[in-house]
Structure 1
Amino acid sequence: MLLFCPTCGNILHVESGVANYRFACNTCPYIFNISQRITSRTYPKLKEVDDVLGGSAAWENVDATDERCPKCSHSRAYFMQIQTRSADEPMTTFYRCCNPQCSHNWRD
């Protein structure tokens, strides 16, 4: 959390005071005592695999191959290859089940 000095506009830094911590300005004598501890955590929402790959539109013009779905055991799956790591690493193959009721995504 960043707080700014209302007098001069500089960033306030935390220092230990006589009995507790306080925000203080480096350029002017402004001091703001901290009366209670404030904590907050925000966790970023992880994207689904389909969002990372470009959404459902990315699967419109892809080829199918003989690959068995691990979820429904359908014998065919769509596939696409994307370079997810550095250039000297092999490409990652992503699959989507051809069965419209399943549409399970996995990678190789």
Structure 2
Amino acid sequence: MEFCPTCANLLQYEMTNPARFFCRSCHYISPIERKVKIKRGVQLTNKAATPIIVGKKPVGATTDATCPKCGHGQAEFNQVQTRSADEPMTIYYRCLNEGCGHNWKED
């Protein structure tokens, strides 16, 4: 797939001599080179995961949620849309008790 550098529309293929890509909107034309490079065996690398919870300080908003593990009355929370848009968001909590730090979620 090739996109027009001018208007970002999908370029159409035209089999002429020589073959070319063209844009129906802005009339951009790009000739197709005869020598096509096919890349095979491209090695993908894994990136290191960035932790969401860093250290003991609260990173996000806090609330008066009770920790199910230690019973502490404050927790940090984060909301994420994990299901379809018509479903409620999933809320992830982290206990703010320094000795606990328990993580749990509420669907």
Range into which the TM-score falls when normalised by the shorter chain = 0.3 to 0.5
Q: TM (normalized to structure 2)?
A: 0.46
TM-score using structure 1 length? 0.46
Higher fraction of helix: 1
